[in-house]
Chains A and B, each alone.
Chain A
Amino acid sequence: MSKIVIDPITRIEGHLSVELDVEAGRVKSARVRGDMFRGFEQILIGRNPFDAVQIAQRICGVCPISHGIESSRCVENACGVVPNKNGRLLRNLALASNYLQSHILHFYHLAALDFVDITAILKYSGNDEKLNYLKAWAASELSEKKTGVSAATACAPFLPRYGGDGFYIKDTEFNIAAIAHYVKALDIRMKAHRMVALFVGRVPHAIGLVTGGVSKTPDKATLAAARNILAEISEFVNSSYVPDVVALAKLLPGYTEVGRFGDFLAYGEFPDGPDEKDLYFPRGIVSGGKRMALDPSEITEQVLHSRYSSPSNLHPSLGQTEPAVDKSGAYTWIKAPRYAGKPMEVGPLARIIVGYTAGNADIKKEVDALASAVGITLPQLQSAIGRHAARAIESKLLCRKISGWLDQVEEGEKPRQECAIPDKGEGVGLGEAARGALGHWISVKDGKIDRYQCIVPTTWNASPRDDNGVAGPMEQALAGTPVSDEKNPMEAARVVRTFDPCLACAIHSVKAGAEIARFRVC
């Protein structure tokens, strides 16, 4: 048996590495390591709860909108208010637009270089100006950079890469189309962010997300600009993104055999009616193929293998986090969240599986269509390829929903519900970041934040072994993955990237609060 370390895993957010025990050409067991800690939430204690919406967004520059919204929800919950109609719709619009930028960024700019052969550009013989420019660029890099660092970085950041003929798709036509889409997607994801900025001022770290809704009253020009951008993004999603994922699934059939994990959790997202509980992507658990209602009191965080000295298996409302740099047996800064004692996968695949099992007609239709286009079954989608497929399906569905929400926004009407911070109170916000289930918990005392806690998607997915020694979802999904070349462990890196890890989110800390609080379940 040999040990391989991949450190750093690039093309994700943040500092992640994996340690693999390899036997007979396959991963026998994996340890996923989160390599960065900031002690983030301690800064929130003693501050005005209104500050939380801004500060919590800084946990993550890729999914700030989700942190801003969950933070707003927990503060609103403590204030006893809910957003008004415009507040709900404009938040949905900002969040859905950020899903689009996040999913498109993930597929084309983070994951695609694991299978697209970018050197195919040298074989391009068409008339497209941009592709000919890229061809000339790549040729000049490769022909002029011959020695030392310069040779090692010819065509950086696209090369160097893991060597090995078998890793990259050989179909030149697919590769060249994918490269063209990589470039186009840079523009499309930027425009998705422009749409976010139209609604909430800025991104990353939206200034216009405020407790009760958003700060800007919607006007005709904003809505018209958003419609124009949406048309361009929808066209890209429908004519490039979804077909590219289908093509990838056919070209790399092995993707259904790796990265498998079977237990899913979703808090649900996009309140789609006057009742906040009416969620477009449903809430629930699917374990062993069976759907169950989600009971948030079943969530705990365990720390036996995490670098913390605080007690294990606490509910997030009671969570404690004392860093212990040299703790024996600990290998990560990520805690191990468990639902009823079990690890759970969260994210687009979890939302799609929970939604499908719950009978959501839109999700069912798109999943069935994609599965039949690829020629695979629903159980086969619970795999590496399923995570890519789920993001593409969500993008298609959200383009449609954004259009509907734009129609419902009431021009010139108030964008939020006003609220007053109570002297004392507790609140919880549960929703979905692009990467999965996100929860924020707040406790207010003397009008200030007394305790603040988040459990974020990558904490679930990249969790280490728990107190019983049970590996986290990504660790389990890595087991059995082929390692055809120990110097170039591409197959394992691919599986990790299908989870779209976000490490800045995954690791955070809370100082032990003075008071034990009970949280309403929203």
Chain B
Amino acid sequence: MNRREFIRIVGGATALAVFPEVVLAGTKLTLGKASSRTPVIWLQGQSCSGDSVSLLNAGDPDIATLLTNHISLHFHQTLSTATGDTAIDILLKTLEQGAKDYVLVMEGSIPQKSDTFCTIGEVQGKPRGVREWVTLLAKNARAVVAVGTCATYGCIPGARLRTGGANPTGATSVWGVLPGVKQINIPGCPAHPDWIIGSLVHLIMNKRLKLDAFGRPLLYYKNTVHDKCEHLQEYKKNVFARAWGDPGCLYKLGCLGIDSNCDIPVRKWLGVNSCTGCGGGCVGCTEPVFPDTGGRGLFPMKKA
């Protein structure tokens, strides 16, 4: 990867064309040596796989380029051909041989009350909990990346209950299981594929990534949604929507763009639309307290 390609991949929204040419960009790619592809082990805990699906929606580089030119995806529950013991053997070999060259990506929260709430594979005839896998694999990982709001902050599985009780599985984030572990947090429900790939490429290239107090790369999470919102002018002119489908700023429909940091209004989902642009509003999904970002639920009104 040359400097220009690096900037194109990790660059801010300016580098992102609408409807980018999404093909295996044969002429642009120079195939490096196999050893230049960083091993990635991607574990799913109590997840919905939404971040994996979001990753598949990558524009430029597309997913095929990522898998063949940048990383070597050693383990992924949704994408690996290997199944059963064939898949688990890769994790066991990684641990046995003390490999240290891999990036560990965690998607989904981790149950602390009982390992039975989430297991991946059997080791010597006994199901192994995701908590144990993360603990073992994080130890030697070159870097740990938490993708999505479940792995970064606990999200819905780890949310407080309105009925007062604790969440039933003790679901928590990677930091909840491994306090103080050095990691990059890429929250979002789901995370945007550019955030995931851009952060991975920084790690691969040994480039420093400045993080905010919540462990998020400033490159993607510096501004609030409100700062770059499509409805900013309407907000300034006091034009507010009273029901979904009305024109105007969505603030009075509970939009949390003022409290939430990310660059979606300019980056866009799949290059075409955004949470605020589609008239639904920001639900605060990149914040540590999601789904209670505003100190309340998502929507305050009873009629819309």
Chain A residues proximal to chain B, CB less than 8 Å? 5-15, 17, 35-40, 42-43, 45-48, 50-51, 54-55, 58-62, 64, 105, 109-110, 113, 118, 129-130, 132-134, 136-137, 140-141, 143-145, 148-150, 152-154, 156-162, 183, 186-187, 189-190, 193-194, 197-198, 200-217, 225, 307, 323, 325-326, 414-416, 418-421, 447-448, 487-489, 493, 504, 509, 511
Measured CB to CB, the nearest residue on chain A to B94 is A149
Find A186's partner among B33, B56, B299 (CB 8 Å cutoff).
B56
B272 at the A interface (CB under 8 A)? yes
Contact between B63 and A186, CB atoms less than 8 A apart: yes
Within 8 Å CB of A14, what residues of B? 44, 47, 49, 77
Within 8 Å CB of B104, what residues of A? none
Contact between A35 and B118, CB atoms less than 8 A apart: yes
Find A45's partner among B119, B155, B161 (CB 8 Å cutoff).
B161
Q: Bound state CA distance, A109 and B24, in angstroms?
A: 16
Which B residues between 23 and 59 are near A, CB-CB below 8 angstroms? 23-24, 26-27, 29, 31, 33-35, 39, 44-54, 56-59
Measured CB to CB, the nearest residue on chain B to A145 is B34
Shortest CB-to-CB span from A117 to chain B, Å, is: 11
Shortest CB-to-CB span from B105 to chain A, Å, is: 13
Contact between A47 and B80, CB atoms less than 8 A apart: no
Within 8 Å CB of B281, what residues of A? 207, 215
Find B243's partner among A46, A157, A418 (CB 8 Å cutoff).
A418
Measured CB to CB, the nearest residue on chain B to A43 is B159
Find B156's partner among A40, A162, A419 (CB 8 Å cutoff).
A40
Within 8 Å CB of A133, what residues of B? 24, 26, 29, 31, 68
Find B280's partner among A190, A201, A217 (CB 8 Å cutoff).
A201
Contact between B302 and A420, CB atoms less than 8 A apart: yes
Which B residues between 152 and 202 are near A, CB-CB below 8 angstroms? 155-157, 159, 161-163, 165, 167-169, 171, 189-190
Contact between B120 and A8, CB atoms less than 8 A apart: yes
Within 8 Å CB of A12, what residues of B? 77-78
12 A-B pairs whose Cβ atoms sit less than 8 Å apart in the complex: A37-B169, A40-B157, A42-B168, A47-B162, A129-B24, A160-B90, A202-B269, A202-B275, A208-B280, A448-B162, A493-B83, A504-B47
A210 and B50 in contact (CB under 8 A), knowing A133-B24, A144-B33, A156-B74? no
Contact between B93 and A11, CB atoms less than 8 A apart: no
A190 and B44 in contact (CB under 8 A), knowing A43-B156, A144-B34? no
A414 and B245 in contact (CB under 8 A), knowing A40-B156, A148-B97, A204-B54? yes
Q: Bound state CA distance, A144 and B31, in angstroms?
A: 13
B298 at the A interface (CB under 8 A)? yes
Q: Bound state CA distance, A359 and B27, in angstroms?
A: 52
Contact between A152 and B22, CB atoms less than 8 A apart: no
Q: Bound state CA distance, A145 and B86, in angstroms?
A: 18
Within 8 Å CB of A307, what residues of B? 116
Number of A-B contacts (CB under 8 A): 349
Contact between B271 and A194, CB atoms less than 8 A apart: yes
Within 8 Å CB of B73, what residues of A? 156-157
Q: Bound state CA distance, A395 and B143, in angstroms?
A: 41
Shortest CB-to-CB span from A509 to chain B, Å, is: 7
Shortest CB-to-CB span from A228 to chain B, Å, is: 9
Q: Bound state CA distance, A415 and B304, in angstroms?
A: 13
Question: Beta-carbon contacts of B269-293 to A below 8 Å, as 1s and 0s?
Answer: 1111111011111110100000100
Contact between A157 and B80, CB atoms less than 8 A apart: yes
Within 8 Å CB of B277, what residues of A? 201
Contact between B168 and A509, CB atoms less than 8 A apart: yes
Contact between B81 and A157, CB atoms less than 8 A apart: yes
B223 at the A interface (CB under 8 A)? no
Within 8 Å CB of B34, what residues of A? 140-141, 143-145, 150, 154
B301 at the A interface (CB under 8 A)? yes
Measured CB to CB, the nearest residue on chain B to A151 is B93
Contact between A61 and B39, CB atoms less than 8 A apart: no
Shortest CB-to-CB span from A311 to chain B, Å, is: 18
Contact between A39 and B167, CB atoms less than 8 A apart: yes
A159 and B23 in contact (CB under 8 A), knowing A47-B162, A61-B49, A504-B47? no
Q: Bound state CA distance, A15 and B160, in angstroms?
A: 24
Within 8 Å CB of A118, what residues of B? 81
Contact between A60 and B48, CB atoms less than 8 A apart: yes
Measured CB to CB, the nearest residue on chain A to B37 is A141
B295 at the A interface (CB under 8 A)? no
Question: Beta-carbon contacts of B246-259 to A below 8 Å, as 1s and 0s?
Answer: 00000000000000
B233 at the A interface (CB under 8 A)? no
Shortest CB-to-CB span from B127 to chain A, Å, is: 7
Find B270's partner among A8, A197, A213, A419 (CB 8 Å cutoff).
A197
Q: Bound state CA distance, A348 and B255, in angstroms?
A: 37
Max count, chain A CB within 10 A of own CB: residue among B33, B67, B169: B169
Contact between B72 and A156, CB atoms less than 8 A apart: yes
Contact between B163 and A215, CB atoms less than 8 A apart: no
Contact between A144 and B35, CB atoms less than 8 A apart: yes
Shortest CB-to-CB span from A274 to chain B, Å, is: 20
Contact between A50 and B278, CB atoms less than 8 A apart: no
Shortest CB-to-CB span from A63 to chain B, Å, is: 9
Question: Beta-carbon contacts of B230-271 to A below 8 Å, as 1s and 0s?
Answer: 000000000000011100000000000000000000000111
Q: Bound state CA distance, A210 and B245, in angstroms?
A: 10
Contact between A205 and B24, CB atoms less than 8 A apart: no
Contact between B49 and A160, CB atoms less than 8 A apart: no
Shortest CB-to-CB span from A145 to chain B, Å, is: 5
B5 at the A interface (CB under 8 A)? no
Contact between A134 and B68, CB atoms less than 8 A apart: yes
Within 8 Å CB of A489, what residues of B? 84
Contact between A43 and B78, CB atoms less than 8 A apart: no
B303 at the A interface (CB under 8 A)? yes
Max count, chain A CB within 10 A of own CB: residue among B165, B282, B297, B301: B297
Within 8 Å CB of B156, what residues of A? 38, 40, 43, 55, 58
A416 and B87 in contact (CB under 8 A), knowing A5-B122, A10-B82? no
Measured CB to CB, the nearest residue on chain B to A416 is B245
Find B278's partner among A62, A161, A187, A202 (CB 8 Å cutoff).
A202
B121 at the A interface (CB under 8 A)? yes
Within 8 Å CB of B31, what residues of A? 133, 136-137, 140
Contact between A10 and B78, CB atoms less than 8 A apart: yes
Contact between A11 and B90, CB atoms less than 8 A apart: no
Find A59's partner among B48, B54, B77 (CB 8 Å cutoff).
B48
Within 8 Å CB of B159, what residues of A? 43
Shortest CB-to-CB span from A501 to chain B, Å, is: 12
Q: Bound state CA distance, A212 and B280, in angstroms?
A: 12
Within 8 Å CB of B68, what residues of A? 133-134, 137
Contact between A8 and B272, CB atoms less than 8 A apart: no
Measured CB to CB, the nearest residue on chain B to A146 is B34
Find A415's partner among B44, B117, B245 (CB 8 Å cutoff).
B245
Find A9's partner among B46, B64, B69, B83 (CB 8 Å cutoff).
B83
Contact between B245 and A190, CB atoms less than 8 A apart: no
Within 8 Å CB of A212, what residues of B? 244, 304
